[in-house]
């Protein structure tokens, strides 16, 4: 309350001073528009700041400004996002998190390049949409600072056990190495941490009403903008493409049986109630042919000419064909230190692993056949294909994939909980009518 009284007194002082200085009725009328709409800890959000951000989102979302209900919902969502951002920026400042101009310039250049634009063209495009480049630049800086904060406060604190990784791998293998990818839209109706049964029931009723509207033909994107408490609300709830391993198991179970365009009934989690719409899905498998091969390498130098190397390999090839052991000869004569100690074994490899000359010969050989001597940039080789198999490239490096997918799944949920917690702990006062929940 002491903080609140201080802020009120501060606001009253500012208003009184302005009234004394600004005697022009025109200037006073303009100044009145820049009223405070929310107090966030020791900072404020003004009407002009809110209107500017709303205008940016109207351009991004291509909304009709004449649709009053839609604009009212957008105003609520943008204000809540600004409050959340301001709370996080305050935390970042306390922790000394900054983004220097050089790093910011590099990111903006990457944004331009990813849209096939030069920096000048990016500025022109923003200008045509009514977005000042300076404002875009500072908003980008703020977004980067907030990402750094979230990484430090949430991402870096996520731990993943070896048991979780092994369960992930086992689960993937039992599904025959196939992973589905889903493009989904999402509406979240949050429930407070340690919510009373009445609050949970109220959120459930709201979620069910929204689901009924969607089933009756209401636009999911519009409802997400108007009603969702999720981080992607202003994108119409679009979560983009996510693999099944990156989504909570409850989400996967809810959408697995849906056809494209269908919406699942609300499901509950620690964050609240979720409504999911399946936009599209695809298999994440990419079958490639892997080859198991071994070779013997003879390098050329001042003492060993191309003819010498080819002659030596021809002799070794004949000895192998007459029954001598390939691995023993490789161990004795090969000049490839990596494979020599393994009898020339190169292990399983997929297309693109070796240089073109080597791969061309390998692909032309039948199983167990031994090549004629051939040259690559490394020297002269003879090569034997021992086996071939079909492998899902998308499932290679399962341990690394497991780590990333589990982290992504945990991060999304932890970020929701952390964002809600710091919002609940912050002092927020709406000046005027508070947005309806």
Average pLDDT for residues 81-106, to the nearest whole number?
94
Identify the pLDDT of residue 66. Answer: 65
- CATH pick for 179-285+410-430 out of 3.40.50.720, 3.40.50.300, 3.40.50.2000, 3.10.50.40: 3.10.50.40
Please calculate the CA angle 113-115-119 and round it to the nearest 5 degrees: 50
Does position 174 have pLDDT exceeding 70, yes or no? no
Q: What are phi and psi of 187, to 5 degrees?
A: -120, 130
* C-alpha span between 329 and 313 (Å, rounded): 11
Asked if residue 427 has pLDDT above 60, the reply is yes
Average pLDDT over residues 252-272: 91
pLDDT confidence tier of residue 15, bands split at 50, 70 and 90? very low
Check whether 6 has a pLDDT greater than 60. Answer: no
Q: Where are the domains of the chain?
A: 2-153, 179-285+410-430, 287-394
Higher pLDDT, 282 or 425: 425
Whether residue 2 is predicted with pLDDT greater than 70 in this model: the reply is no
| Distance from C-alpha of 118 to C-alpha of 111, rounded to nearest angstrom | 10
Task: Output the pLDDT for position 9.
Answer: 41
The mean pLDDT of 295-318, rounded to a whole number, is 94
Q: Which tokens is 182 given?
A: 């889903």
Q: Inform me whether the pLDDT recorded for 204 exceeds 90.
A: yes
Question: In this structure, which CATH number among 3.40.50.300, 1.20.1630.10, 1.10.4030.10, 3.40.50.920 belongs to the domain 2-153?
Answer: 1.10.4030.10
Q: Which of 101, 244, 122, 230 is nearest to 172 (CA)?
A: 244
Q: In the chain, what percentage of residues exceed pLDDT 90?
A: 54
Class of the domain covering 287-394? alpha beta
Average pLDDT of 258-262?
92
Q: What is the pLDDT of residue 332?
A: 95
- The SS3 call for residue 297 is strand
125-154: pLDDT as tens digits: 998 888 889 999 999 999 999 999 999 999
Give the separation between CA 237 and CA 411, rounded to whole angstroms: 18
- Please determine whether the domains at 2-153 and 179-285+410-430 fall in the same fold group of CATH: no
Residue 173 scores a pLDDT above 60: no
Give the Cα-Cα-Cα angle 397, 401, 407 (nearest 5 degrees). 155
The residue among 177 and 376 whose pLDDT is bigger is 376
Q: How confident is the model at residue 396 (pLDDT cuts 50, 70, 90)?
A: low
């Amino acid at each position: 309350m002491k903080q609140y009284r201080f802020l009120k007194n501060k606001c009253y002082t500012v208003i009184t001073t302005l009234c004394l200085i600004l005697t022009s009725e025109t200037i006073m009328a303009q100044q009145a528009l820049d009223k405070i709409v929310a107090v966030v800890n020791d900072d404020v959000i003004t009407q002009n700041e809110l209107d500017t951000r709303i205008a940016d989102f109207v351009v991004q979302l291509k909304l009709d400004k004449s649709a009053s209900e839609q604009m009212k919902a957008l105003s609520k969502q943008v204000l809540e996002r600004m409050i959340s951002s301001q709370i996080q920026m305050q935390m970042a400042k306390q922790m000394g998190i900054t983004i220097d101009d050089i790093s910011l310039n590099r990111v903006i250049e990457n944004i331009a390049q990813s849209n096939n634009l030069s920096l000048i063209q990016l500025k022109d495009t923003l200008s045509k949409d009514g977005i000042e480049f300076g404002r875009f630049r500072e908003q980008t800086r703020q977004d980067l600072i907030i990402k750094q904060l979230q990484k430090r406060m949430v991402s870096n604190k996520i731990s993943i056990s070896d048991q979780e990784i092994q369960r992930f791998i086992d689960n993937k293998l039992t599904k025959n190495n196939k992973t589905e990818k889903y493009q989904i839209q999402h509406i979240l109706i949050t429930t407070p941490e340690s919510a009373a049964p009445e609050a949970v029931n109220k959120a459930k009723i709201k979620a069910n009403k929204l689901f009924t509207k969607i089933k009756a033909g209401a636009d999911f994107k519009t409802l997400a903008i108007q009603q969702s408490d999720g981080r992607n609300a202003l994108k119409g709830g679009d979560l983009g493409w996510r693999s099944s391993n990156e989504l909570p198991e409850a989400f996967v179970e809810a959408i697995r049986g849906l056809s494209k365009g269908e919406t699942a009934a609300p499901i509950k989690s620690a964050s609240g109630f979720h409504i999911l719409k399946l936009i599209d899905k695809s298999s994440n498998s990419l079958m490639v042919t892997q080859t198991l091969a071994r070779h013997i390498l003879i390098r050329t130098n001042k003492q060993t000419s191309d003819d010498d190397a080819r002659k030596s390999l021809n002799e070794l090839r004949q000895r192998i064909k007459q029954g001598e052991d390939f691995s023993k000869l490789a161990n004795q004569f090969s000049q490839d230190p990596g494979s020599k100690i393994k009898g020339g074994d190169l292990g399983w490899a997929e297309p693109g692993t070796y240089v073109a000359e080597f791969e061309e010969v390998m692909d032309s050989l039948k199983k167990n056949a031994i090549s004629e001597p051939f040259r690559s940039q490394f020297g002269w080789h003879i090569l034997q294909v021992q086996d071939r198999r079909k492998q899902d490239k998308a499932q290679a490096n399962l341990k690394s994939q497991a780590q990333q997918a589990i982290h992504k799944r945990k991060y999304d949920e932890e970020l929701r909980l952390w964002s809600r917690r710091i919002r609940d702990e912050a002092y927020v006062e709406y000046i005027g009518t508070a947005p309806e929940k």
